[in-house]
Structure 1
Amino acid sequence: MYLGSEEKEVGKANFCAAIGSKAVRYDFLKKQVDQSLASKKGLGGYYYGYGSVDKPVRVGVIGTGDEGNVLIGALNPNYMEVAAIADIRPYNVWRAFNGDWYSPAAQAARPGLMRIYGWKTEDEARKHVKVYGAYQDLIRNAKEDGVEAIIIALPLHLHAPCAVMAMKAGLHVLTEKLMAHSVRECKEMVRLAQQQKLYLAVGHQRHYNILYDNAVELIRKGVLGDLHYIRAQWHRGNLPDSDSWKMPMPRDLKPTDSLADKLERDQAKWSETRAQLQKEFEKAQKEKDESKRARLIKQIGDELSLWDKKLAQIAAQISDKSVEAEKYGYTDLKIPYRDADGSQKEYHRPPAEELIRWRLWNRTGGGLMAELGSHQLDAAGIFIAASHGSVGKNGLKPVHPLNVGAAGNRPLFPPDRDCEDHVFCVFEFPAKDYDPKDTMNKAKKKIGVQYASINGNGFGGYGETVFGTEGTLVLETEKDAMLFKGSDTAAKAQARPRGDRAVLANVADITPAEVQAKAERDRTEAMAVGILATLPAERGYAEELEHFAWCIRNPDPENQPRCDGVKAMGDAIIALVTNTAARKGQRIDFDEQWFDPASDETPEGEKPDLSRYSD
C-alpha cells in the first residue's frame, strides 16, 4: 500500500483520534500531555514506568562507529556519564568527541560527547573520558575508571566475547542489536547475566518508541479486529560504489579499491571551497557598510567554521590508514570469480576492509536480516504479542514464530561482499486461538508475516503494515503512524467502545445524525489529545538508555529492560534462522527449545559453553 499525501494525513488523523479516544487511551494520554506541558520533561519515564536517578551511571562505550555514535548522541547526562570509550579506529574516536559534520542529518544523530556534556574542546573532554583502543583494555581498567556498565556497538562477531568479558568483570551490558552472531552465543550471554545477577539489555529500540507503544494499545483493545497478516519492508537504493555499507577507505589501506581516491579527492575539493570562502571573508572585512559587514562576517564565518569541521573529520577518516586490523583478528581474504567475459579474476579483501566494511561479511556481520530485518520482525512480534493480549510490567510476553521460508540473491553487487543484495521471507506465527492438536480447525489459526529487504531501489522506504479484520495500521520510518478502516484510505475513522474493547468505525457511517455529530465532536477532542501525545515521538534510543540506567540504580527482579536478553535472543533466532533458510532455499520449522536459554538446543547445533571464553 503506497499512500498519497492526502491519504497519509487522513491516516495520521485517524491514528491520533483512535489512541486519544476514551475507548482506547484518553485518560492515559491526557494525563501524559498535562504532565509534559507542566514539567517539560521527556515522556519515557511516563510511558515505561521509570523515574530519575540520584546519580548518573558511569559507562564505557565500546565501539564508536556509526551506531555507537548514534547511541552517544542519545545519551541523557542526567542518567549516564561516559567515563571511557574504546575503538581501534582513530576516525571513530574523533567522531565520538567531535560528532559527525558530513551532513545536517548526521550532525543531528551524532552530535558527539563535547556537545552532549558541554565540553569546549577535545582536550577538555579527554580529561573526563579515558580513551582505549582494544575493548579488552577498557574492561580490564573498568574498576579503576569507576565504570559500572558498558554499551557495546562493535561489529556483530564481537558482541558475545565483549559482553561475556564485561559480565565476568561485574559490569552490566547494553549491546546493540543483533544480540550475537549465533544462538549459542546468545544463550551464553543470557546464562552469564543470570549467574552474575547483572542487567543485559539489547538495542531493539522499538520497545521504547511511543508510536509503537500506542499502536500496541490499539491492537490490544481490538481496534484492528483479528490480526491475520503483517507486511514489512526495508528498501534501500544502494548500488555498486554508491552503498552506505561500503564506506570509502584511505588509499593506503587498499590502493586498488574502487573508492581508493574518494577521500583524498573530497579533501582537495573541500580545501578549495574553504580557500575561496576565506577570500570572501577577507573581502567582507573591508565592507564599508557596518551593518552589511557584520552580517557577512557572521554568515561567512559560520560557513568557514563548518568547512573546518568537515576538513578535520575527513583528515581523521584518512588517519585510519594507520590501523593494523590484523592485530585485532581481522583477516585477509581472496575470492576467485569469473568476470562478464568469462575470464578468471580474484577479489582481494585486506584485513582493514573487513574491519571498516564489516557488515558485508558473514564472519563479522549478519547481512540484511541482522542489520535491518531484525527490526521489522521485532516489530511484527510485538504486534502479534499484543494481539495475544499478554502484557506485564516490562512489556509483552513474546510469541514465537512457527516456521519461515526464505530466499536471498545477489544480482546487483560484484564479489566485494558475502551478504545478499536482497532477502525475501514469509513467516507463520500462531494466532491467539492457535492449537496444533486441533488439526481440523485451530491448527490453521495462524498469522502470516512477509518481509523483504532489497537494494537498488528505495521505493517505499521502510516500515510495517498490519492487517486486521476491522482496520489497517501503517507505520513508516518509526516516526509516522496511520490508521484506516479496512481499505478505505479517504474516510475519517474513530474508535468507539464495545464492552471492554473498542471497534473502529467510519464517522460517515454512524447513524442517526445526532449520534454522528457527537462522534465528530468526540473525534476532534480525541485527535487533539492524540496529536499532542505523539508530537515528541522519537526512535526510542534515549528511552532505552535512560531505562537501562534506572534499572541499574533500582535493582529489583521486577525492574527489567523492555528488551532483555531473553527477548532479544528470540529476535536473533528469527534473523539467523532466516539467513539459513534463504541461503539453503528451504522452509525451516522453529524449535521452541531454541528460545529457552536453559536448553542446550540451538539452530546451528552447537551447545552453549561459557568455559570456552578465556578470563
Structure 2
Amino acid sequence: MQLTAEQREIGVQNFQDAVDQAGVSRRAFLKAAGATSALGAFYFGYEKLHGTPLKVGFIGTGDEGSVLLTQHPPEYFDIVAIADLRPSNQKRAFTGDNNEHRVGLNKKLGHATASKIKVYDNHEQLLADPQIEAVVIATPLNTHSKIAIDAMKAGKHVLCEKLMAHSIAECKEMIRVSKETNRVLAVGHQRHYSILYANANDLVSQGLLGDIKFIRASWHRNNSFPNSDSWSKKVPQEDSQLADVQKWGFDSLDQLINWRLFRKTGGGLMAELGSHQLDACSIFLSQGRSEVHPVAVQGYGGKNFYGVKGVGSEDKQKDPREIDDQVYVTLEFPGRNYEEDHNDIAIVTYSSINTNRLEPYGETIYGSRGTLITELEQKVMLYKEEGGDTGGGGPGQRLRVVQRESGGGPVVSTSPSLAPAAAAASGPASEEKVSRGYTEEMEHFAWNIRNNVPLGTPREKGGLRCPGERAMADAIMAITSNLAMKHKKRIEFKHEWFDPSSPAVPETDPEIIG
C-alpha cells in the first residue's frame, strides 16, 4: 500500500493513540535504545532473573546465530561456549561483520569477557561440556532436530531457531524427547515476544478493526542485481579446507554454506520468511482464542527468475539453487463462528518474490471498521473505515477510540480535534529501533528454567509463548504450503497433524503425495 509521508505519520499516531485510549500500557512503546531489561518482563509477565544467569552454549553462529549473540541478555545468559563447523563463523561470532544486527561478542561483552568463551568445532563437543545448562540452536534447518534431540538427551534445555524442523515428523520427535527428558523446548518465532505486535494484537482482540476477512502478508526482496543475493555466498578462504561435511548431513561444502538454497537442507521462502508472517497472521486471527489453525491452503511456487535462460544477469542464469524464487499462497482460516457456519472464513494471502522490494515486508489486516498495517517489525499504522455514525475515514483521517454506548468494547471514531494537518504538524514519530523480540524470548526462556516452570504451563501463567507445540503448528503451515505448491492442489489441514502424539504428518499423507 503506497501512502504519503503525512498519511504514514497519521497512521502511526492513530495506532499510538489507540493503544493509550484502549487501555494498553503506553510503557510498551519504550524503544530498545532507552528501555531497561525489565520491559519484556513487565509486559509478558515474567520477572528479572534472580540468582546466577543461565549458563548457555550457542550452536551455530552464522547469520541468525550472530543476531542472537548480539541480542542476548547478559543478565539472563552467561555464554560458556560457542560451536560452529565453519571457522569463518567462529571468528564472526567474536568480531561481528560490520552490521548493526551482528556486532560480535567482543563489542557486546568486551574483549576481556568474550575471550573466556570456549570455541568448539561441532555440537557434540559442546554438548559434552558439563558447565552448559542450555543451548541456543541456529544451524541449517536440516540439522535442527538432531542437535535439539542430542542436546535434550544430554540434559540441556533447548531454544531452537525457526523453522522448528525440516519435517513435521521431526517436530513431533523433538516434542516427545522434551517430555521424556523434562527439558524445556522453546522455538524462536520472535513475534511472540514483540511488544509492538502484542499491542497490535490487543487492539485486534478487542474488536477495534471489526470483522477481519482478509490479511495480505508479503516479504518482497530484490536480488536481481549482479552478485547481490545474501543467500548465495562464495566459500570463504577460512572454510575452504573444511572436510567431512557429509558426517554432519551435507553433500558438499557449498551446500553447508548455502543451505537455504537446497531442498535437502532448507525449506525455501516459506520456511525462512513466510513462517514468521503466517505465525503473525494466526495470532491476529485468534481474536481471543488460544490458537487457531488454518482450514486449507493452495498456491503457486516456481523458479521463474534464477536459472532461467535469458533472464537477469549471467550469475543469476547460472544459479544452481533448487528452491522456488517466487511463492504465492492463499490460506483459509476459520472465523470465530466457523463451527456454527463454515462460511465464516478469513483469507490470508502471502507472497515472497526476489525481483522487487518497493513495499517493506509486513502484514495488512483489513477489518470492516479499520485497517492495521505492520511494517518491518518496527512500525504499526492504523486507519479508520468511513461509514456508520462514527464519521469519516481513510489514510488521512485522525481517529479516537470510544466505548460503545451499548457496551461490547471499543470502536474507532473520527477525532474532531485533530485534523490531518494538525496531526502532521505535531512532528514525526520516533525512528528509534523497536525490539523485535529476540532479547525477550531469551529472557523468558532463562526465567522459565530458573523458576522450574513445568512443561506445558499456559502462557497466561508464565509458560513459554512459543513452545514446541505452537512452533510445530507454524511449521505445519509452512511445510503444507510448500506441498500445495509442489503438487498444485488445494490441501485441507487435518487435526491429527497438529497432535504431537499422532503419527500423522502432511509430508507422508497419501491424499497429498499419492
Query: What TM-score comes out, normalization by structure 1 length?
Result: 0.74
Q: Which residue of 1 aligns with 2:310?
A: none
Q: Which residue of 2 aligns with 1:503?
A: 411
| Deviation digits for residues 582-612 of structure 1 (CA, Å, limit 9, x no counterpart) | 11111100001100111111112389xxxxx
Equivalent position amino acid for 2:410 in 1 = A
Equivalent position amino acid for 1:591 in 2 = K
Q: Distance in 1 between matches of 2:443 and 2:359?
A: 32
| Deviation digits for residues 497-537 of structure 1 (CA, Å, limit 9, x no counterpart) | 122511011214xxxxxxxx5x99xx99xx99xx79x9662
Q: Which residue of 1 aligns with 2:108?
A: 116
Q: Which residue of 2 aligns with 1:328?
A: 247
Residue pairs, 1:448-463, within 5 angstroms? 448-463=347-362
- Shift of the 420–111 alpha-carbon distance from structure 1 to 2, 3 Å rule, reads same
Equivalent position amino acid for 2:129 in 1 = A
Q: Which residue of 2 aligns with 1:12?
A: 12
* Helix, strand or coil at the partner of 2:155: coil
Q: Distance in 2 between matches of 1:76 and 1:377?
A: 27
Q: Which residue of 1 aligns with 2:486?
A: 583
Residue pairs, 1:134-533, within 5 angstroms? 134-139=122-127, 141-143=128-130, 146-239=131-224, 241-249=227-235, 317-332=236-251, 351-385=252-286, 387=287, 389-390=288-289, 397-414=290-307, 416-435=320-339, 442-486=341-385, 488-498=394-404, 499-508=407-416, 517=417
Residue pairs, 1:61-72, within 5 angstroms? 61-72=58-69
Which among 41, 47, 50 is matched to residue 45 of structure 1? 41
Q: Distance in 2 between matches of 1:19 and 1:217?
A: 8
Query: Does 1:593 find its partner at 2:501?
Result: no
* Deviation, structure 1 residue 40: 4.5
Equivalent position amino acid for 1:246 in 2 = S
* Helix, strand or coil at the partner of 2:92: helix
* Deviation, structure 1 residue 493: 1.1
Q: Distance in 2 between matches of 1:443 and 1:95?
A: 52
- Shift of the 328–241 alpha-carbon distance from structure 1 to 2, 3 Å rule, reads farther
Native 8 Å contact 2:378 2:433 kept in 1: no
Equivalent position amino acid for 1:413 in 2 = Y
Q: Which residue of 1 aligns with 2:453?
A: 556
* Helix, strand or coil at the partner of 1:604: helix
- Shift of the 125–372 alpha-carbon distance from structure 1 to 2, 3 Å rule, reads same
Equivalent position amino acid for 1:379 in 2 = A
Q: Distance in 1 between matches of 2:453 and 2:257?
A: 40
Q: Which residue of 2 aligns with 1:271?
A: none
* Helix, strand or coil at the partner of 2:196: helix
Native 8 Å contact 1:330 1:354 kept in 2: no
Q: Distance in 1 between matches of 2:37 and 2:74?
A: 14
Q: Distance in 1 between matches of 2:173 and 2:249?
A: 23
- Shift of the 468–325 alpha-carbon distance from structure 1 to 2, 3 Å rule, reads farther
Q: Distance in 2 between matches of 1:371 and 1:536?
A: 23
Q: Distance in 1 between matches of 2:362 and 2:267?
A: 20
- Shift of the 165–606 alpha-carbon distance from structure 1 to 2, 3 Å rule, reads farther
* Deviation, structure 1 residue 33: 7.7
Q: Which residue of 1 aligns with 2:23?
A: 24
* Deviation, structure 1 residue 242: 2.2
Q: Which residue of 1 aligns with 2:117?
A: 129
Native 8 Å contact 1:75 1:116 kept in 2: no
* Helix, strand or coil at the partner of 1:443: coil
* Deviation, structure 1 residue 555: 1.2
Equivalent position amino acid for 2:334 in 1 = P
* Helix, strand or coil at the partner of 1:151: strand
| Deviation digits for residues 318-357 of structure 1 (CA, Å, limit 9, x no counterpart) | 211121153434554xxxxxxxxxxxxxxxxxx1110100
Q: Distance in 2 between matches of 1:135 and 1:29?
A: 42
Equivalent position amino acid for 1:409 in 2 = G
Q: Which structure 1 residue ranges, 5 or more long, are not aligned?
A: 250-316, 333-350, 391-396, 509-516, 608-615
Equivalent position amino acid for 1:465 in 2 = T
Q: Which residue of 1 aligns with 2:443?
A: 546
Stretches (4+) displaced over 6 A? 36-39
| Deviation digits for residues 191-222 of structure 1 (CA, Å, limit 9, x no counterpart) | 11122222111111101111100001101111
Q: Distance in 2 between matches of 1:37 and 1:5?
A: 24
* Deviation, structure 1 residue 73: 0.2
When Rg is computed on C-alpha atoms for both structures, the one with the higher figure is 1
Equivalent position amino acid for 1:368 in 2 = L
Equivalent position amino acid for 2:471 in 1 = A
* Helix, strand or coil at the partner of 2:136: strand
Equivalent position amino acid for 2:214 in 1 = Y
Query: Does 1:95 find its partner at 2:83?
Result: no
Q: Which has the higher contact order (CA 8 A, sep 6+)?
A: 1
- Shift of the 588–40 alpha-carbon distance from structure 1 to 2, 3 Å rule, reads closer
* Helix, strand or coil at the partner of 1:247: coil
Native 8 Å contact 1:330 1:352 kept in 2: no
Query: Does 1:565 find its partner at 2:468?
Result: yes
Q: Which moved more, 1:456-465 or 1:177-186?
A: 456-465
| Deviation digits for residues 33-72 of structure 1 (CA, Å, limit 9, x no counterpart) | 89x9999544111111111112110011000000000000
Query: Does 1:57 find its partner at 2:47?
Result: no
Q: Which residue of 2 aligns with 1:339?
A: none
**Number of equivalences:** 478
| Deviation digits for residues 285-330 of structure 1 (CA, Å, limit 9, x no counterpart) | xxxxxxxxxxxxxxxxxxxxxxxxxxxxxxxx42111211534345
More helix, by proportion: 1
Q: Which residue of 2 aligns with 1:86?
A: 83
Equivalent position amino acid for 1:199 in 2 = V
Equivalent position amino acid for 2:211 in 1 = D
Q: Distance in 1 between matches of 2:36 and 2:139?
A: 34
Q: Distance in 2 between matches of 1:213 and 1:502?
A: 17
Equivalent position amino acid for 1:125 in 2 = A
Q: Which structure 2 residue ranges, 5 or more long, are not aligned?
A: 308-318, 386-392
